[in-house]
């Protein structure tokens, strides 16, 4: 054996799962990678990054792709594709840091506990879209708005009809609710929903039923698709449908502005000040290209064939995600401008008053009132909310697939009980997600999403340390060139070692500050949940380091060196493994790769 085995360190060797399968089509990795852009729990950052910036966000976005996003995509894809294992077992590349994989496991489970609300809310609106009259339209609002509270509530329909407060000679401040936002608040019988001073505990039984239905759909997908080939095919069709619905929605929203030419101009040709502002927002938001949780790209790439071109695929995925982000941003941009036009018209007719429109969760809630004013509103609501439901189901399925496959790769005993463990995990996640059906938990994803961005950034920073410094630049370049059978320039390696980590350090400080600000308005339950899923898992990294060194023989220096060396690090397929051993025996790896004859290369 020319690579180091776990036997040498007194541990059981890694046993690859040869039955885990591959994607049915090589393009499935690209489509699932693009669908990582469906992660919409960071909508507040999306709003800042692309709504006000418009296409000004494209330039800093592409710069971020060059500096650290695509390099990270390539690195994570390399780890998964080379080792054919998930985000836990792939840290055989440096076993001392395997605790990072267990942190990722906790983060992914934490994300899945709240993400169902992003499917339950649009599912609720979808069901009500089947009613003859939309309850959040001005006509449908008359049936229930009068009974919302003892005090009258000003809403958008008052502005549309120019229904103001009694005449007065002094200025006053008037808060107007958006009917589609007000509709969700009434589901909780709580008009202070989403407010920091919200007290009490209320459960929406409609959201509760929609949450159960969401997890039932997820269970059905994993029950019917027990192989990666079937699951990849189902995900591919779901992604096609979602992208088609997104395109239809964008086209329909482009017809909303009264001055379409000016709206398109403002979105695609922003001013210089907006361009400068967009740099700080986009650099933080761009980390969401890796999907919910962490390690998803590693797990998805592990289903690739050994020779799959990860560099080209990474660029295709990242550019495809950019168009998805811009599509959602355009919808929010039009929605925001729609309300601004109503406010301006209202202020012109009522110069002594100052109106304020309470826009909340714009992509999910406020868009409903825009859809209600379209012709055939029920049809467009069905299309729009179905699209949002599919984005959540796809994101949850991919995150769950990544998490479960990583567990099966690392724990050999669970491979014979995949079905049982899958439904146990889904059942526990469904129970934990019930908190999001309350007024205290429905907005949980805002705080947790920022926490996960901090964790993702920190883990990506550690990944650079593990792969390019502990495993080593030379060995990483050697393995990558062997796997792809193409040259990987030293310039790219030096960017990975120095430029990309510096960018991530700056971004880590910014994301930590944002997360800290959001936690100031969170409830004590949110703080405890963040402590369990975000903070405490970090103790596992030094804890696992101590544990694995105690399991190794020799002096402390010898133990440390052994734990930093790759263990059982080789391609899983026998043919690729034999070729790797032959290449490793040659001291000049570059010469070996260039001199491989046609028969050996195939």
CA distance 88 to 298: 9
Mean pLDDT value of segment 558-584? 85
pLDDT single digits (tens) 200-242: 778 889 999 999 999 999 999 999 998 999 999 999 999 999 9
- Beta bridge partners of residue 438, listed in sequence order: 203
First to last CA, the chain: 22
Cβ-contact 280, 48 below 8 angstroms: no
Residue with the bigger pLDDT between 362 and 31: it is 31
Lowest model confidence (mean pLDDT) among 117-126, 240-249, 263-272, 590-599: 590-599
Mean pLDDT lowest among 141-145, 361-365, 478-482: 141-145
pLDDT band at 594 (very low <50, low <70, confident <90, very high): very low
List all residues 6 or more positions away from 261 whose beta carbon is below 8 Å from its beta carbon: none
Residue-wise pLDDT for 504-558, tens only, equals: 898 888 777 777 776 665 566 667 766 766 777 788 888 888 888 888 877 888 8
Q: What is the mean pLDDT of the chain?
A: 82
Q: How many CB atoms lie within 10 A of CB 493?
A: 17
pLDDT at 161 over 90: no
Task: Judge whether residue 444 has pLDDT over 80.
Answer: no
Sorted by sequence, the CB contacts under 8 Å of residue 268 that are 6+ apart come out as 54, 55
- pLDDT at residue 314 tops 90: yes
Question: Has residue 26 got a pLDDT over 70?
Answer: yes
Between 5 and 346, the higher pLDDT residue: 346
Most confident residue range from 5-14, 141-150, 267-276, 478-487: 478-487
Give the highest mean pLDDT range of 172-176, 194-198, 235-239: 235-239
What is the pLDDT confidence band of residue 592, given thresholds at 50, 70 and 90?
very low
Give the tokens for residue 406.
């990583």
Is 37 annotated in some ligand binding site?
yes
Q: Measured between alpha carbons, how far is residue 572 from residues 16, 231, 458, 585, 599 in Å?
A: 7, 22, 29, 18, 20
**What's 253-291 look like in SS3?**
HCCCCCCHHHHHHHHHCCCHHHHHHHHHHHHHHHHHHHC
CA angle 218, 223, 226 (to 5 degrees): 115
* Distance (Å) of CA 380 to CA 246, 251, 370, 386: 11, 11, 10, 10
Q: Is a pLDDT exceeding 60 seen at residue 9?
A: no
Q: Extract the tokens encoding 394.
A: 């796809």
Higher local confidence (pLDDT), 310 or 358: 310
pLDDT on residue 81: 94
Residue 345, number of CB atoms within 10 A of its CB: 13
pLDDT digits (tens, 9 = 90+) for 83-139: 999 999 999 999 999 999 998 998 899 889 989 999 999 999 999 999 998 998 888
Between 279 and 576, whose confidence is greater?
576
pLDDT of residue 352 exceeding 90: no
pLDDT at 11 over 70: no
For position 552, what pLDDT does the model report? 80
The residues near 491 (Cβ < 8 Å, ≥ 6 apart) are none
492-to-284, 314, 409, 468 alpha-carbon distances in Å = 23, 14, 31, 12
Note every long-range contact of 226-234, with CB atoms under 8 Å and residues 24 or more positions apart, other chains counting.
226/418, 226/419, 227/21, 228/20, 228/21, 228/22, 228/23, 228/303, 228/401, 229/21, 229/22, 229/23, 229/24, 230/24, 231/397, 231/401, 232/23, 232/24, 232/25, 232/28, 232/32, 232/303, 233/24, 233/28
Task: Report the pLDDT value the prediction gives residue 167, as an integer from 0 to 100.
Answer: 45
Q: To the nearest whole percent, how much of the chain has pLDDT over 70?
A: 80
Three-state SS for 346-395 is: HHHHCCCEEEEEECCCHHHHHHHHHHHCCCCHHHHHHHHHHHHHHHHHHH
For 247-273, b where at least 16 C-beta lie within 10 A, e where not — what string? Answer: eebeebbeebbeeeeebbebbeebeee
**Please, which pLDDT band fits residue 169 given cuts at 50, 70 and 90?**
very low
Residue ranges of domains in the chain, CATH in brackets:
6-129+203-570 (1.20.1740.10)
Query: Could you read off the pLDDT of 91-106 as tens digits, one per residue?
Result: 999 999 999 999 899 8
Count CA within 13 A, CB hemisphere, residue 132: 0
Tokens of residue 531, six digits? 């402590």
pLDDT recorded at residue 27: 92
Pairing mode of beta strands 353-358, 172-177: parallel
Q: Can you tell me the mean pLDDT for 258-278?
A: 69
Tens digits of residue pLDDT in 379-421: 999 999 999 999 999 999 999 999 999 999 999 889 989 999 9
What average pLDDT score do residues 77-83 get? 94
pTM of structure: 0.90
The span from the CA of 471 to the CA of 75, in Å, is 12
Q: Among residues 330, 364, 429, which one has the least CA distance to residue 112?
A: 429
Q: Is the pLDDT of residue 298 over 90?
A: yes
**pLDDT interval class at 439 (50, 70, 90):** confident
For residue 44, pLDDT over 90 is answered with no
Mean pLDDT on 265-283: 68
Which ranges of 411-443 would DSSP assign to H, the alpha helix? 418-432
Backbone angle region of 190, left / alpha / beta, with phi > 0 → left and psi within -120 to 50 → alpha: beta
């Amino acid at each position: 054996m020319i690579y180091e085995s776990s036997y040498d360190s007194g541990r059981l060797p890694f046993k690859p799962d040869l039955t885990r399968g591959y994607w049915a089509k090589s393009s499935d990795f690209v489509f699932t990678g693009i669908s990582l852009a469906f992660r919409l729990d960071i909508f507040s950052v999306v709003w800042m990054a692309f709504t006000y910036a418009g296409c000004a966000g494209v330039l800093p976005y592409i710069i971020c792709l060059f500096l650290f996003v695509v390099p990270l995509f390539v690195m994570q894809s390399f780890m998964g594709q080379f080792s054919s294992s998930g985000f836990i077992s792939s840290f055989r590349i440096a076993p001392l840091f395997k605790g990072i994989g267990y942190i990722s496991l906790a983060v992914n489970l934490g994300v899945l506990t709240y993400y169902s609300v992003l499917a339950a809310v649009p599912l609720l609106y979808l069901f009500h879209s089947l009613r003859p009259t939309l309850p959040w339209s001005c006509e449908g609002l008359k049936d229930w708005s009068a009974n919302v509270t003892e005090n009258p509530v000003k809403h958008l329909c008052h502005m549309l009809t120019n229904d103001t407060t009694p005449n007065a000679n002094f200025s006053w401040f008037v808060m107007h609710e958006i009917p589609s936002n007000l509709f969700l608040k009434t589901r909780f019988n709580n008009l202070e929903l989403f407010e920091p001073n919200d007290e009490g505990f209320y459960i929406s039984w409609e959201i509760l039923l929609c949450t159960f239905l969401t997890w039932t759909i997820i269970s059905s997908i994993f029950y019917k698709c027990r192989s990666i080939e079937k699951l990849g095919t189902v995900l591919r069709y779901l992604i096609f449908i979602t992208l088609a619905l997104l395109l239809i929605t964008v086209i329909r929203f482009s017809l909303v502005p009264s001055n379409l030419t000016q709206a398109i101009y403002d979105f695609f040709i922003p001013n210089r000040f907006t361009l400068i502002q967009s740099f700080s927002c986009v650099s933080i938001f761009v980390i969401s290209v890796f999907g919910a949780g962490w390690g998803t790209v590693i797990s998805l790439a592990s289903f690739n064939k050994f020779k799959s071109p990860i560099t080209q695929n990474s660029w295709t995925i990242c550019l495809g995600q950019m168009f998805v982000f811009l599509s959602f941003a355009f919808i929010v941009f039009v929605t925001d401008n729609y309300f601004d036009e109503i406010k301006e018209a209202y202020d012109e007719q009522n110069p002594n008053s100052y109106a304020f429109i309470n826009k909340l969760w714009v992509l999910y809630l406020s868009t409903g009132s825009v859809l209600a004013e379209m012709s055939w509103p029920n049809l467009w609501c069905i299309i729009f909310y179905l699209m949002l439901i599919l984005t959540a189901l796809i994101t949850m399925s991919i995150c769950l697939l990544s998490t479960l496959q990583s567990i099966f790769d690392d724990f050999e005993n669970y491979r014979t009980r995949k079905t049982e463990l899958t439904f146990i995990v889904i059942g526990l996640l469904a129970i934990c997600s019930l908190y999001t059906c309350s007024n205290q938990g429905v907005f949980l994803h805002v705080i947790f999403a920022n926490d996960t961005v901090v964790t993702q950034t920190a883990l990506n920073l550690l990944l650079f340390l593990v792969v390019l410094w502990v495993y080593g630049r030379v060995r990483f370049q050697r393995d990558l060139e062997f796997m792809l059978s193409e040259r990987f320039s030293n310039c790219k390696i030096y960017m990975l070692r120095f430029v990309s980590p510096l960018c991530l350090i700056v971004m880590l400080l910014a994301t930590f500050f944002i997360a800290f600000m959001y936690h100031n308005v969170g409830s004590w339950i949110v703080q405890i949940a963040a402590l369990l899923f975000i903070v405490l898992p970090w103790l596992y990294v030094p804890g696992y380091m101590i544990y694995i060194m105690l399991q190794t023989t020799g002096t402390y220096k010898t133990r440390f060196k052994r734990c930093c060396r790759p263990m059982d690090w080789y391609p899983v397929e026998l043919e690729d493994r034999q070729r790797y051993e032959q290449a490793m025996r040659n001291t000049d790896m570059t010469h070996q790769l260039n001199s491989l004859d046609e028969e050996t290369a195939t």
